[in-house]
Amino acid sequence: MIIAIDGPAASGKGTIAKKIASIYRLHHLDTGLIYRAVAKAMLDAGHSPDNGKEALAAAIALDPANFDEAALKAPAVSEAASVVAANPDVRQALMNYQRAFATKPPGAVLDGRDIGTVIAPDADVKLFVVATPEVRAARRVMELRARGEDTDEHEVLADLLRRDERDSRRTAAPLKPAPDAHLLDTTHLSIDAAFRAAVDIIEGVRTGRKRR
């Protein structure tokens, strides 16, 4: 079984994806980490994230076995990740890894922006997870403060809106729901309630019921 979970930053898709993978005993890939790793390699080497030639070289050289998740999640990397992710050559270079991951037995949950549309268009279940920008910003602030990072809520909101805009407007695999994706709005849901709603959708599809 392949489950595609897309949506904007801090919509809850990552947390839902992890929990779903764990209960269905599937592999899990947070595909944002891949773009973040390319971006971090660029920043570490002193390249601008919009240097297409270097970004492609960094994407080709990527080693997902050596990801330092905490370093990749740093806010400074987020913005650069959305710049490198708009580069079609970078996306193409990262496609095979993601597709191979998706088809590893017994199946996988992948979360990102283009899983249901580009990486796994034949996924068994597709979720598109959303929440209002304000709620997403509040969640991201809590997450960052829990990690001891001093953050300004207005800045976090501005960063999310900027990334939403860039991710949705790019021509290469923009952030958008697949036509057959099930929309899940987590604005007013706790983590547990969002997870249960996701399971309901998956079980609905598995038992042949259509819910949207």
Query: What residue ranges bind ligand C5P (CB under 6 A)?
Result: 9, 31-32, 35-36, 78, 81-82, 85, 112-114, 163, 167
Q: Which of 54/111 has CB closer to ligand C5P? A: 111
Minimum distance from residue 203 beta carbon to ligand C5P (Å):
25
Let me know if 52 is exposed, middle or buried by CB neighbors in 10 A (0-12, 13-18, 19+). Answer: middle
CB of 208 to ligand C5P, least distance (A): 29
Shortest Å, Cβ 86 to ligand C5P = 7
- For residues 129 and 201, which CB has a smaller minimum distance to ligand C5P in the complex? 129
Instruction: Kindly provide the residue ranges of all beta strands, DSSP E only, lying in the chain, ordered along the sequence.
Output: 2-6, 27-30, 108-112, 125-130, 182-185
Q: Least separation, in Å, of the C-beta of 83 and ligand C5P? A: 8
Any idea which residue has 């949705």 for tokens?
Answer: 168
Comparing CB distances to ligand C5P, the nearer of 117 and 202 is 117
Q: Which is nearer to ligand C5P, 155 or 203 (CB)?
A: 155
How far is 6 from 12, CA to CA, in rounded Å?
Answer: 10
Phi, psi of 183 (to 5 degrees): -80, 135
Angle ∠(19,25,31) on CA atoms, nearest 5: 60
